[in-house]
Amino acid sequence: MKTCAICPQPTLTYYCTHHKKQRSRSRSKRRRLRKRCSVCNGPVTTGVKYCDEHRLAIDRERRRTRKRVARDKLRASNPLEYSLKQRARKLRVGWQDLLSLLEAQQYRCAYTGELLTVGTMHLDHVVPRSRGGNNSVSNLQWITARINRMKSDLDHGEFLRLCEEIVERWQSKQSQLRIA
């Protein structure tokens, strides 16, 4: 006959009946503690580290991170496509439509003919939205940022008349300076 490993009680196994029950209770308690969320200590399903609420939040954050990484990759590899997709999402038009419009303009400003780059190109409404214009591709044109700031909320005809007036005034000033 053996004695219990904890007390001097005689036993056939390693522990006496009393200590055997005590050890099994503490073991099951440890198991139960493992079935808790590592964030809030709430109950979790077997084999999962987080409760449903935190698991969903963590999955959402992982999806956002994957999207952010993909977006940053696109921005680095193809800045034009990235820029077109951003503008298309804002205007709710297809980015391929914006690309075809840019190609139709041969990557040049509709007013000045300057070569457009990703940093200088702005998408302009021929009829401004403030005057009832819409976001359809037929009402859009690519122009430089400088011209877009000058055009403001003028429509195409008004802006061209303003440019003509500026040129006429400039030419008259030049001729007056030559005479004097």
For residue range 102-137, what is the model confidence (pLDDT) as tens digits?
A: 999 999 999 999 999 999 999 999 999 999 999 999
What is the per-residue pLDDT across 1-19, written as a single tens digit (0 to 9) for each?
788 877 888 887 877 887 7
Average pLDDT, the chain: 87
Confidence of residue 31 (pLDDT cuts 50, 70, 90): low
Q: If DSSP codes are grouped into helix, strand and coil, which group holds residue 114?
A: coil
Please check the confidence at residue 63 and state whether its pLDDT lies above 90. yes
What confidence score (pLDDT) does residue 36 get?
77
Q: Which two tokens stand for residue 136?
A: 């359809």
The residues facing 115 across adjacent strands are 108
What is the per-residue pLDDT across 150-174, written as a single tens digit (0 to 9) for each?
999 999 899 999 999 999 999 988 8
Q: What is the distance between the alpha carbons of residues 15 and 8, in angstroms, rounded to a whole number?
A: 10
Residue 103's Cβ-count burial label (10 Å; 0-12, 13-18, 19+) is exposed
What confidence score (pLDDT) does residue 10 get?
85
Q: What is the distance between the alpha carbons of residues 102 and 62, in angstroms, rounded to a whole number?
A: 35
Q: What is the distance between the alpha carbons of residues 91 and 108, in angstroms, rounded to a whole number?
A: 21
Long-range CB pairs of 18-25 (<8 Å, 24+ gap) are none
Calculate mean pLDDT across residues 94-98: 93
The DSSP secondary structure of 9-76, one letter per residue, reads -EESSSS-HHHHHHHHHHHHHHHHHHTB-TTT--B--TT-SS-HHHHHHHHHHHHHHHHHHHHHHHHH
The residues facing 124 across adjacent strands are 141
Q: Are 6 and 19 in contact (CB under 8 A)?
A: yes
